[in-house]
Structures are given as C-alpha cells and as structure tokens.
Chain A
Amino acid sequence: MEYTYYPGCSLEASGKSYDESLRFVFRTLGQKLVDLEDWNCCGATYYMSTKDTTSLVISARNLALAEKYGHDIVAPCSSCYTILYKTNHILKNNLIMKAKVDQALKKDNLQYNLHLKVRHPLEVLVNDVGIDSIVSKAKVSLSGVKIAEYYGCQIVRPDRGLDDKENPQMMDLLFAALGAENIDFPMKVRCCGGMLMTTYPDVALELNKKILESAYANGADLVLTTCPLCQVNLEAYQNKINKKYKTDFHLPVLFFTQALGLALGGKPKELGIQRCIIPFQLKENVQGEAR
C-alpha cells in the first residue's frame, strides 16, 4: 500500500530516530511512504489554545496538500496526528468553519475537499499490514525483553474508535507476537504532561515519575512510545527525575518503530538507536536468533 507521509517538526530534530526507524519499518514491510511536499507545522496545542479558525486553517493546509496525492495521510507524532484528525473531523461537521477555512486557503490556490483519512502508523501497521504478516517477516526474536508499552494520551483519545481508550492493545499484541514479554503497565495511557515540562516543570516531572515508577516496579527493561514529546519527557528528563525524587531509574525509552525495526533485522544505527540518551541493546543471547 502507499501512504502520504507527514513527518511533523519533531521528527526532523529531537525525534529524528522515529523518522529513521519508521521509514525502515515501512520499507522492510513493502509499504510505500511518499513524503508530503512543503508540509507546514500542524499548529500543535499552541494554536488550538489561541485562535480557532487560524488553528484549523494552518492544519488544513496540510490536508489540502495531501489530498492531491490520493492516499491516506500518516502522521507519526501523536500531537500532529490528533490535530490533523481533529481538524478533519471539525471541517467535516461544521460547514461554516469549512467555508472560512476554504476562504483562507484560497489565498494559495488550495482547496480541501474532505476526502482525506488521517492515520497513525501504529494502526496502519496493525490493521493494514497485519500482525501475522509482520511476524512472518521478523528476523530477530524479542524474547526475553520485558516491555512497557506506553501509548500516551493522544492516539487513543478522544474517540478514535481504533482501540480501547483505557487499555489499548495494538502495541501489546504486536510485541507479544514478536516474542517480547509485556509487563503489567497500568500507566500505559496516563498523560506525560506534554508541554507542561516547559511551562510547569514540577507538575510534569511528577507525572513522568509516576509513569516510570510503574514501568520500573513491574520489571520493564524497555519503555516504548508512539510520540516524540513523550519520548523526550520520559527519557531526557529521567536524570532530573532521579535527582528530584531520589529514584534510580535507568530505563531506555524507544519509539515502537525502533523496537519493531530490530525485530525486522534492522541494524541499531539504521534505526537511530545510537541517538538514545539511555542506551539500549538487545541481549546477547537474543541477538541473531532466527525465528
């Protein structure tokens, strides 16, 4: 299948390894990602908090550009995914808003005809490619790795109808099929605080501490995320959390595509694993073992 790829700003910088590993995974599974030309920032929560029409306009510019490609748009960053999805939803349900947005887009000869479907790569991999087909292409077993699958808030909430809102299973089923052991992880959809790490760090550190604590107490070797902001909060601020709460967390936090890439036989470097602040390596006895 072919998809239109919207990387989003984070995947060009702090979340670069998400981009690298996602491309690897899609390529290896025979799925085509076509880059959306000249995409712009989705607006994130910042625009949504300031101006409603403008926030929809800048996000709809991407939808209008992507529609011309004729395929579903795939947005890996949870925040971009939510914003694009929400814009699409509002424009389909609010004709007045749609008319206002069209009027603004016309300034660049753009028009959005509501034909697009906004999708997250996790759901594309599980639903379109299928877990069985992924497992049949796996080269390395993940057995012996205890994983805490962290979904965060934006991909299952609000009603996407993709998975359970309180206890999503997509990543759990995928990685269990690849041989990994899923730990009990009641914090899997708890919020990491997002941009609160900048605006109200005390609140965000507390939220992230609780998530890491839950993963750690249940014996996780590895936390997987679907979102570049969750990844930075959980990984890059672990040191700060350890200092503040006198904890001793040392948990690697990878994007789910990085772990999936390893299972598909990718080299750590191709998957951007060297970009982690807290290093992760598959255990010796696991590496190279054919399924």
Chain B
Amino acid sequence: MKEDKLRTEFLRQVANIPGGESIKKCIQCGCCTGSCPVSYTMDITPREIIALFRAKDIESILSSRTIWICASCYACTVRCPQGVQVTDILYALKRLALEQKIFPKRFPVYSLSKSFIFLANRYGRSYEPGLIIAYFLRTNPFKLMGLIPLFLKLFFKGRIRLLPNRIKGTKAFSQILQEAEIMEMIVPIREA
C-alpha cells in the first residue's frame, strides 16, 4: 500500500524532469556508480537505486544515505549510455523523502536545507554566517567553536558579511512564495 503511494508520487516527480522517462531504459551497466566520486561512501549505489525502484522497494531508497551524499555533480548523468537523468532522479527522491518525512538516522542535509530556506525566504538572499550558525545550532553547536579560526581568517580578508543583504521587495517576495506553495499542491492528472 505504502509502496503504491510512494511510487505514484515518485513517478509524478519524474514526469516533471525533462527526459525523466528514460529511467525505463536503464540497462544496469553501472556506469553511473563507476563515475560517481562519492559512491564509495554510499550504502546503495546509483545503479542499485534504479534496481530497487524496479523491485518495488522505494522505501529502502528513501531511507538510504545515498540520496543525501549525492553532491549533484552530474558525472553519472553525462556518462549514462541510455540517457537516464540520474542526478535529477536523485533530486526527485530527496524531495519525496522530505515530503514523506522518511529520513535516515543521521541527517545533516535536512538541517542545512531548512536553515538555508529559512534565511532565503526571509531576506530573499542567502547569508553565509547565518546559514552556518543556524545549521550547527540544529545539529551540533559544539562544532561551531572549531570553525572560529576559519571564520576569523575569512573575516580579516573581507570575505564575510556581518549583516545580511536583503532584497527590496521582501513582502512581495513572500507573497510569491505563498502562491508557489499553493501551486506545489496542484498536480496534473495523467493517465497511467
């Protein structure tokens, strides 16, 4: 039951990716895994992700460390002989895992994304010191101490802004975001 729901949702996400349908053409050659600079530290390799999708086990994929380790460098995508959009499929899986609140046990990426989005929504721009502080407060505040030397080095080189820059139209910007949230829920009906 759960698998069916996840599958429908996943296929909807994939349909939004230009070239997303090429996932059907995967020949399980493993070129993606071989090209990936971080596959050595994944629990499920990119090739296995597609195999698990075919084996109807999306839940295992979503609870893997793999989708969060992907740095989206697109090495797999450009080398795939079948044109499978591996990186964008991993993005779709990240969105699905967040939406379904299926997280692996240790989960720094969610905290970083949340911190980033909080700041970007508020100011319309990213704010590096705020991002780092918010992230470590959510994960491990003690690690902030270790970052002080680097912070000072960058600060004295004039590479750190103490205050955030904000866009002029922050009010209109949040209206756009609210409307985007509503649009997010509108799902086109496609025939199976």
On A, residues with C-beta under 8 Å from B are 9-10, 12-17, 38-41, 43-54, 57-58, 61, 89-90, 93-94, 96-97, 100-101, 103-108, 110, 153-154, 157-159, 165-166, 189-191, 193-196, 198-200, 203, 207, 236, 274-277
Q: Quick check: B78 and A157 within 8 Å, CB to CB?
A: yes
Additional pairs, 16, CB under 8 Å, beyond known A57-B177, A198-B135: A12-B161, A14-B159, A47-B117, A48-B91, A49-B98, A57-B176, A58-B180, A100-B183, A101-B180, A104-B180, A107-B176, A110-B176, A157-B78, A166-B78, A275-B158, A277-B153
- Which residue of A47, A90, A107 is within 8 Å of B18 (Cβ)? A90
* Segment 82-111 of B: residues with Cβ below 8 Å from A: 85, 87, 91-92, 94-95, 98, 108-109
**Interface of chain A: mostly helix, strand, loop or mixed:** helix
Contact between A196 and B16, CB atoms less than 8 A apart: no
Determine which of A157, A159, A196 lies in contact with B69 in the assembled complex, contact meaning CB atoms within 8 Å.
A196
Q: Which residue of A lies closest to B93 (CB)?
A: A49
B113 touches which one: A49, A57, A191 (CB < 8 A)?
A: A49
**B104 smallest CB distance to A (angstroms):** 12
Name the contact of A158 in the complex, choosing from B74, B108, B169, B188 (C-beta under 8 A): B74
User: Does B132 contact A198, Cβ atoms closer than 8 Å?
Assistant: yes
Tell me whether chain B's interface is mostly helix, strand or loop, or mixed.
helix
A54, B180: Cβ atoms under 8 Å?
yes
Asked whether B16 lies within 8 Å of A153 as measured between CB atoms, the reply is no
Contact between A194 and B179 (Cβ–Cβ < 8 Å)? no
A41 to B128, CA, bound (A): 12
Q: A13-B161, A46-B113, A157-B78 are in contact. Are A105 and B154 (CB under 8 A)?
A: no
Which residues on B sit within 8 Å (CB–CB) of A105?
176
CA gap between A46 and B110 in the complex, in Å = 9
User: Contacts A9-B125, A52-B16, A158-B87; is A38 near B176 (CB within 8 Å)?
Assistant: no
B181 within 8 A of A: yes
Shortest distance in angstroms between B133's beta carbon and chain A's nearest beta carbon?
A: 12
B146-161 vs A, Cβ < 8 Å mask (1 yes, 0 no) = 0000100110011111
Q: B176 and A195: CB pair below 8 A?
A: no
Would you call A203 and B95 a contact (CB within 8 A)?
no
- Contact residues in A for B159 (Cβ distance below 8 Å): 13-17, 275
